Structure 1
Amino acid sequence: MMTQSQRRWSRSPFIFILALLLVSCSGSQETVSFMVFGDPAERRAYLNLVAAFEEAHPDIAIELTHIPSPRDYRDRLATEFAAGSPPDVTLMNYRRYGAFVANGLLEPVGPYLAQSDLIQPEDFYPITIDAFTWNNEITCIPQNISSLVVYYNQDTFDTAGVVYPADDWTWEDFVKTAVTLTQDFDNDGTIDQYGLGVDPSLYRLAPFVWQNGGPIANNEQFPTRLTLTRPPSQAALQWFVDLRQVHGVVPDRVEEAAQDSESRFIGGSTAMFLNSRRGTPTYREIEAFVWDVAPLPRNGEVAGVLHSDAYCLSGTTENKDAAWTFVEFANSPTGQAIIAGSGRTVPSLISVAESEVFLDPNQRPARSRVWLDTAESLRLVPIISTWEEIESTASEEIERAFYGDISAEEAALLIDTRTEEYFRLGTGR
């Protein structure tokens, strides 16, 4: 009969081998850090994406960090890259990734994409690949192809007896509609319902400049200055400013500070609101009224502005192959379908965008196809490493003109002067 000591030693080889196996298994799993931003619906979608990926790739663990505020996300991103410890995979907008790639902080994904069995460049809407191509090299994989549209409150239109926006409506139609829907219901001198809400920024202005036949920069590939002083561009700026200064169809600065236009739209006191697909998950929670989307009004030309984010690889990540495997999965039909389910994205994969995953007849907006039908008319703002500074500076002057502090002409001149240094410092694609 074995003693307790003998039994312990007889089991020890088995215990030792099991311990080695456990150490070996735990050591074989790679961890990829992944940071995103967005509302709760987006967070749930990313959690679902991570769960689906880890089920398909049990040897790779995804460490998800979610930052609700886009501004806080950008600050965190800049801080972590500056500290040399960024996440392995991040979500970046095409207007902002230039500052990172120009400083060698991102790992180009073109070579990985060329070897992929899941996705190829031709599977995506071409403009999204163009947006994330720097010095002829695909840097990041685009997640979406959103654009600026007009969200509108159908109940408000019905009450006022105003027809819904047509696909080919004009600037004149747009202004007339906004004027009609701007109402002081109790005649006390205070507007109770505005016809329109819009952010007075360069990004919102850009498509209207293009529609008027003007440029916003002197060279699309290698810009050296903004061109809002040119007659067609300045005329578009004046038309944009007149929405507030002449027609009064948007809140003034004080009113906007008290309650922003998006909140007014959600609350039913603004009839139309200009936004990208970003707003859809939030607007789907509206129960008080029915809403839908329409394309931007048009003028001399048809033009829209691209809104697109992409998955980018950090140049310092030690697990580049594992990180790419996640990016590849996230942008496969399976991965993009999961994120599209949140309502937040217009998939950059043509096959997913054209499927019921995106064009879901049981989900608002009823006319999601508007984003796809206008895709060919989308244009890019300049891609340059200092574009964020250029855009924010220009937007400051556009806002001042919008709220009547200066004229549109003065704003155009100040924009030209104040952004000159940023163009000198910037490097383009």
Structure 2
Amino acid sequence: MTKGKRLQILLLVVALTLFASSVTVSAEKIVLRVAHAWESTFVDVQKEFDKKFMEKYPHIEIRLENFAWENILEKLQTQAAAGTLPDVFYVHCSWAQQFIRQGMLMPLNSYIEATPDFNMDDMFPVGLTPYWSNGTIYALPYDAGPMALYYNKDMFDEAGLPYPTDDWVLDDLLDNAKKLTKDLNGDGRVDQWGISGTLTHETINAPVLAGFGAQLVNDDETECLVTTPEAIEAFKWWIALDTEHKVAPSPAQVTAIVEPFTFGRVGMTFGGSWMMERWLRFGTFDADVAHVPAGPAGRYTTVAGSGYGIAATTKNAEAAWLYLSEYLSEEGVKFMWGRTGRGSPSRLSAWPDFIKAWEGKNVRVFEEMLGYGLFQRPISPAAPQVSTIVNREIELMQLGRKSVEEGLQQIKQEVDAVLAEYNR
């Protein structure tokens, strides 16, 4: 009998035990601690799901633990060191490989194989990328968020410009950015720009580099590739938005304004699906989203996301998987993220409900972008250091203190050293 078959039988026994009429109400409950990082307005949705789960499985009690986003990583690492991790907990894509290396997450392959109704084919493959290691999957995504082109419809209307279309290329982006860049008060200084947010750690892989046929690092994450001719061409094009065309605010102006797009100072920006609430629902102007423009090598965007895993130290592995498999099932994702329009659902089947929740907005592009999205790299624990290096050198290039070639050579030298350290 295979391991997967044995586990399938074990899970069936657990389920039968939970539901059997011979089990009395006084039986001892299995208590599962589940940790989240929800904003306060979404906690009620979580409680509603947990209530339904406990009604279905009356011998499992869910104890919800919710932490602020800025605190949960430190909290989880402290709990891991103390051996007190929750049974099920939130895993941001950028933390996954670190958690795997630290032994915090339980492998899920055998549980997935033993649960035929848990339809992995319904999950976007790109959303699963950061949770794999050497053929083993350690967490599962609830969302997979692509970077899109957000635009200020009011600003386009005032300028008499048509909105971005699905077939935009980089020349269209530049042409419209020039037309939106203006000196509004006639003092000789630009105070409205066409675009911002083009060169960040979230956009470097795509559309910046991939659109020109280049990569930040190779697929094995052993070498930085920013000094290839394609990468140099890509950076020159994007840096020129600041240094030559002057259609984007300078780093100092971005710092002074804080969020140029949020405050209506730029017409377009790149942002992830997680920015929809702020910019599409609660913004002070009418905004929408479009596909990222295609570069010479094609149309690409970066995808990030979040998921959940089971603690390697849990004493209730079968019950924890029962919860996770219901939570991230087709119905679970529809309930939590499809109908509420929150995030960017990891399951294809949740998208009709999600699009309906955002009626009047062009959010279908997020689903379509998952078809050509690339996961943000590196996905290893080297990512924060790499981002720091890249962001520093980009600012120096934008300010004209370094040429593109000089900046990229410095990035390669430092990133290669960081990757070598993590691959020892």
* Alignment of 1:333 onto 2:330: yes
Looking at structure 2, the residues matched to 396 and 29 of structure 1 have their Cα atoms a distance apart, in angstroms, of 53
Report the secondary structure of 1:65's partner residue: strand
* Alignment of 1:395 onto 2:391: yes
Looking at structure 2, the residues matched to 75 and 400 of structure 1 have their Cα atoms a distance apart, in angstroms, of 31
Looking at structure 2, the residues matched to 40 and 244 of structure 1 have their Cα atoms a distance apart, in angstroms, of 38
Looking at structure 2, the residues matched to 172 and 404 of structure 1 have their Cα atoms a distance apart, in angstroms, of 23
Task: Tell me which residue corresponds to 1:420.
Answer: 416
Structure 1 residues 202 and 124: CA distance shift in structure 2, 3 A: same
Task: Tell me which residue corresponds to 2:136.
Answer: 137
* Alignment of 1:96 onto 2:95: yes
Structure 1 residue 183, shift from structure 2 partner: 2.0
Report if the CA contact (8 A) 1:99-1:386 is conserved. Answer: no
Task: Tell me which residue corresponds to 2:192.
Answer: 193
Task: Tell me which residue corresponds to 1:367.
Answer: 362
Structure 1 residues 38 and 196: CA distance shift in structure 2, 3 A: farther
Structure 1 residues 230 and 150: CA distance shift in structure 2, 3 A: same
Looking at structure 2, the residues matched to 31 and 403 of structure 1 have their Cα atoms a distance apart, in angstroms, of 56
1:291-330 counterparts in 2 under 5 A? 291-300=287-296, 301-330=298-327
Looking at structure 2, the residues matched to 244 and 79 of structure 1 have their Cα atoms a distance apart, in angstroms, of 42
Looking at structure 1, the residues matched to 131 and 360 of structure 2 have their Cα atoms a distance apart, in angstroms, of 28
- Indicate the percent of aligned positions where both proteins have the same amino acid: 24
Say which of 387, 404, 407 aligns to 1:408.
Answer: 404
1:5-20 counterparts in 2 under 5 A? none
Looking at structure 1, the residues matched to 155 and 271 of structure 2 have their Cα atoms a distance apart, in angstroms, of 18
List gaps (5 residues or longer) in structure 1: 1-23
Task: Tell me which residue corresponds to 2:346.
Answer: 348
The count of residues paired between Structure 1 and Structure 2 equals 397
Looking at structure 2, the residues matched to 72 and 293 of structure 1 have their Cα atoms a distance apart, in angstroms, of 30
Residues 74-110 of structure 1 deviation map (CA, whole Å, 9 limit, x = unaligned): 3333333344333322222333311111232210111
Larger Rg: 1
Task: Tell me which residue corresponds to 1:283.
Answer: 279
Tell me the amino acid that sits aligned with residue 54 of structure 1.
M
Task: Tell me which residue corresponds to 1:31.
Answer: 31
Residues 58-88 of structure 1 deviation map (CA, whole Å, 9 limit, x = unaligned): 322333333333x433333333334433332
Task: Tell me which residue corresponds to 2:65.
Answer: 65
Of the structure 1 ranges 104-113 and 418-427, higher mean CA displacement relative to structure 2 is found in: 418-427
Tell me the amino acid that sits aligned with residue 85 of structure 1.
T
Report if the CA contact (8 A) 2:119-2:329 is conserved. Answer: no
Report the secondary structure of 1:305's partner residue: strand
Structure 1 residues 313 and 176: CA distance shift in structure 2, 3 A: same
Looking at structure 2, the residues matched to 95 and 287 of structure 1 have their Cα atoms a distance apart, in angstroms, of 28
Structure 1 residue 169, shift from structure 2 partner: 0.6
Of the structure 1 ranges 328-337 and 28-37, higher mean CA displacement relative to structure 2 is found in: 28-37
Residues 186-229 of structure 1 deviation map (CA, whole Å, 9 limit, x = unaligned): 112343322222163232121120110112213x1x22121111
Structure 1 residues 373 and 29: CA distance shift in structure 2, 3 A: same
Looking at structure 2, the residues matched to 134 and 234 of structure 1 have their Cα atoms a distance apart, in angstroms, of 31
Tell me the amino acid that sits aligned with residue 236 of structure 1.
A
Tell me the amino acid that sits aligned with residue 303 of structure 1.
Y
Structure 1 residue 284, shift from structure 2 partner: 4.1
Structure 1 residues 103 and 286: CA distance shift in structure 2, 3 A: closer
Report the secondary structure of 2:213's partner residue: coil
* Alignment of 1:111 onto 2:107: no
Report if the CA contact (8 A) 1:96-1:388 is conserved. Answer: no
**Superposition RMSD in Å:** 2.4
Report the secondary structure of 2:288's partner residue: strand
Looking at structure 1, the residues matched to 257 and 67 of structure 2 have their Cα atoms a distance apart, in angstroms, of 24
Report if the CA contact (8 A) 1:292-1:364 is conserved. Answer: no
Looking at structure 2, the residues matched to 41 and 404 of structure 1 have their Cα atoms a distance apart, in angstroms, of 44
Looking at structure 1, the residues matched to 325 and 248 of structure 2 have their Cα atoms a distance apart, in angstroms, of 43
List gaps (5 residues or longer) in structure 2: 1-23
Structure 1 residues 60 and 389: CA distance shift in structure 2, 3 A: farther
Task: Tell me which residue corresponds to 2:17.
Answer: none
Over 4 Å off, 4+ runs: 24-27
Of the structure 1 ranges 302-311 and 71-80, higher mean CA displacement relative to structure 2 is found in: 71-80
Looking at structure 2, the residues matched to 29 and 53 of structure 1 have their Cα atoms a distance apart, in angstroms, of 14
